[in-house]
Chains A and B, each alone.
Chain A
Amino acid sequence: MAGSYYFYIFSNMAIFVALATLLHLQFGRTGIVNFGVVGFFGLGMYGFGVFLIQLNIPYFIALLMAVALTGVISFLLGLVILKLDSQEVLVATLAFATIIADLVVVQKGVTKGVIGLGSVPFPIQAGLYSQHVFFIVVLIIAALLIMYAKKLEQSPYGRLLISIQDSELLSQSLGKKTFREKLIFFTITSAAMGLLGALYAANVHFLVPRLLGPGTTFTIWIALIIGGRKKVFGGLLGVLVTVGIFDFLVETYVPIPTGQAQLLPVIKMMVYGLTLLLVLMFKPSGLLGTSKKTTK
């Protein structure tokens, strides 16, 4: 169905919006510099694929198991890294994502490695409209997540997270158990990233290790930084501006000579890199943010 191509793209965009919003919660609210987004995303993705296809576990149970797996591993990782300072957390999560990507390639018996793992069907089968229905599902999930983030902003728990980000020491001096809360929140949000990974698997149907490269993490980061890391709608705006422009508008509507077509993803990454640089230097709080220097 011609229309389902658009909805395929839109579904991926919705998943990325949700991912960027989760990163907003981790980085923009709590100050956890998670550069391993694709690690949790990939755990959920491949976990789901392996449980479903290799182990023949029923669909929704496999989905739940994938989320649980991601949760457990992020809990363990959190135990180790959440006492470290920001630069170290960045590097540790990056290392984690690399480990996951390597494991997927190397454990060929389980994941089928570079040959690829398939095929993961949609959760709801609706004949020709399956893609459209799927889009509605992920759209709802993304919307719920944004609403949660908005509500969190004006809630006691949200203020607790903000206090941890602004000054963890001061927060502790008021009796807040900062490590425990960071760990819990990190686990929950990372498990949610795993859920999104599983949904992504259900959208692309065929899994390859290349999906777990650093490009995904980088795309989410640049989207969030551009949109505004401390803003609830930062992820949404950022994804629309980056993925929306490149993966959708440019790829669909700009006529590129076929010889040059493979240059587009390369140019895209170059532009992302350059933009990240410029935004951090000149408007670090992003499009939605203020110019006041209250960021840490």
Chain B
Amino acid sequence: MSGKLCLKDVKKSFNGRVVVDVGDVTFGNHRIEGLIGPNGAGKTTMMKLITRRLKADCGVITYMRDGFDDVVVNPHEMEDMARMGLVRTNQIIHDFASLTIRESLLLSLATDHHEKFYKIFNDKQLRKETEKEIEWYLDYFYFEDPNGHALSGGEKKLLDIIRCLVLKPNFLLMDEPTAGLPEDVTIKVMELMKKKAQDENISVLIVEHDLDLIWNLCEYVHFMAEGQVMIQGTPEEIRANDIVAEKYMGAAVC
């Protein structure tokens, strides 16, 4: 297992309302884990705390990687966490309006070494270095205008995921990755994630409302509601759990 996240006594409030209140949770003990829960449970907020997009009011979030020292998230900035291999795909659609698909991926793949203000002749070299990888993705996934921009919301969402994947993260948080994606693309993404989790050194935590996907893909599932991670277990355990049924799937039952 490549990366682990440990949250202890982590709290976050907005305007006096407690949005996240997590006592003691560890993510990453299994290769692919799921995080489910009703809207407003605090899933995205918790993810933002982990990637340091937001700052927790209190508590300790620790990021552990094989071969590296444990890192306490709080004192760092979001870009530092990403550099350490902790990456989150976006729930809402985010894109660089001015960059084409390829340019977006080139941006993601470029390192400090490439990005210096005095290095303006190194584009060819960067493209050569990354050609194989970029073409693989453009081949595997369909884009209407692969030499141009991502056109639909779905394409932008997909591009967001690929951008994160080429960073070669150790721990990838996927925040509702399939919302906005057509079904065939969803299947492809999930197959790819399964393969990557197996072959490469990557831990994945997926937030999803598509429960079939979760049962199918994840070895372990966390259930979150009202800011707390209430139940954790295998997919079978979660499906059979009464509280989960009441708080989340209860709407369908009535």
Contacts from A to B (Cβ < 8 Å): 148, 151-152, 154-160, 162-163, 165-167, 169-178, 181, 184-185, 188, 230, 294, 296
**In this complex, what residue of B is CB-closest to A151?**
B120
Chain B contacts for A185, CB-based, 8 A:
117
The reply to whether B79 and A162 form a contact with Cβ atoms under 8 Å apart is no
Q: Is the interface of B mostly helix, strand, loop or mixed?
A: loop
The reply to whether A156 and B122 form a contact with Cβ atoms under 8 Å apart is yes
Q: List 18 A-B contacts (CB under 8 A).
A: A155-B119, A155-B123, A156-B110, A156-B115, A156-B122, A156-B123, A157-B119, A160-B110, A163-B107, A166-B95, A169-B94, A172-B78, A172-B79, A173-B79, A174-B108, A174-B167, A184-B117, A230-B98
The reply to whether B53 and A173 form a contact with Cβ atoms under 8 Å apart is yes
Mark B165-202 against chain A: 1 for CB-CB distance below 8 A, else 0.
00100000000000000000000000000000000000
Q: How far is the CA of A216 from the CA of B120 in the complex (A)?
A: 30
- Say how far A200's CB is from chain B's closest CB, in angstroms: 24
Q: How far is the CA of A154 from the CA of B100 in the complex (A)?
A: 12
Chain B contacts for A151, CB-based, 8 A:
120-121
The reply to whether B94 and A167 form a contact with Cβ atoms under 8 Å apart is yes
The reply to whether A166 and B98 form a contact with Cβ atoms under 8 Å apart is yes
**In this complex, what residue of B is CB-closest to A189?**
B117
- Say how far B169's CB is from chain A's closest CB, in angstroms: 10
The reply to whether A162 and B122 form a contact with Cβ atoms under 8 Å apart is no
Contacts from B to A (Cβ < 8 Å): 51, 53, 77-79, 82-83, 87-88, 90, 94-99, 103, 106-108, 110, 112, 114-117, 119-123, 126, 163-164, 167
Q: How far is the CA of A175 from the CA of B117 in the complex (A)?
A: 17
**A-B residue pairs, 6 tightest by C-beta:** A175-B82, A151-B120, A156-B110, A156-B114, A166-B96, A175-B83
The reply to whether B53 and A155 form a contact with Cβ atoms under 8 Å apart is no
Residue in B110, B119, B122 whose Cβ sees the most chain A Cβ within 10 Å = B110
The reply to whether B122 and A167 form a contact with Cβ atoms under 8 Å apart is no
Chain B contacts for A165, CB-based, 8 A:
98
Q: How far is the CA of A120 from the CA of B216 in the complex (A)?
A: 77
The reply to whether B110 and A159 form a contact with Cβ atoms under 8 Å apart is yes
Chain A contacts for B164, CB-based, 8 A:
174
Chain B contacts for A170, CB-based, 8 A:
90, 94-96
Q: Please give 10 more A-B residue pairs, beta carbons under 8 A apart, in addition to A162-B96, A184-B117.
A: A155-B123, A156-B114, A157-B114, A160-B110, A170-B90, A173-B87, A174-B163, A177-B79, A181-B115, A294-B97
Q: How far is the CA of A175 from the CA of B94 in the complex (A)?
A: 15
Chain B contacts for A230, CB-based, 8 A:
98
Chain B contacts for A175, CB-based, 8 A:
79, 82-83, 167
The reply to whether B117 and A173 form a contact with Cβ atoms under 8 Å apart is no
The reply to whether A172 and B82 form a contact with Cβ atoms under 8 Å apart is yes
**In this complex, what residue of B is CB-closest to A188?**
B117
Q: How far is the CA of A158 from the CA of B122 in the complex (A)?
A: 11
Residue in A169, A172, A185 whose Cβ sees the most chain B Cβ within 10 Å = A172
- Say how far A191's CB is from chain B's closest CB, in angstroms: 12
Chain A contacts for B114, CB-based, 8 A:
156-157
The reply to whether B123 and A172 form a contact with Cβ atoms under 8 Å apart is no
Chain A contacts for B99, CB-based, 8 A:
159, 162-163, 166
Chain A contacts for B95, CB-based, 8 A:
166-167, 170
The reply to whether A156 and B82 form a contact with Cβ atoms under 8 Å apart is no
Chain A contacts for B163, CB-based, 8 A:
174
**In this complex, what residue of B is CB-closest to A178?**
B79
**In this complex, what residue of A is CB-closest to B96?**
A166
Chain B contacts for A154, CB-based, 8 A:
123
The reply to whether B77 and A172 form a contact with Cβ atoms under 8 Å apart is yes
The reply to whether A148 and B120 form a contact with Cβ atoms under 8 Å apart is yes
**In this complex, what residue of A is CB-closest to B116?**
A157
The reply to whether A155 and B120 form a contact with Cβ atoms under 8 Å apart is yes
Chain B contacts for A294, CB-based, 8 A:
97-98
Q: Are A173 and B123 also in contact (CB < 8 A) when A160-B110, A163-B99, A178-B79 are?
A: no
Chain B contacts for A158, CB-based, 8 A:
120
Chain A contacts for B116, CB-based, 8 A:
157
The reply to whether B96 and A167 form a contact with Cβ atoms under 8 Å apart is yes
**In this complex, what residue of B is CB-closest to A152?**
B120
Chain A contacts for B106, CB-based, 8 A:
156, 159
Q: How far is the CA of A81 from the CA of B78 in the complex (A)?
A: 20
Q: How far is the CA of A281 from the CA of B53 in the complex (A)?
A: 35
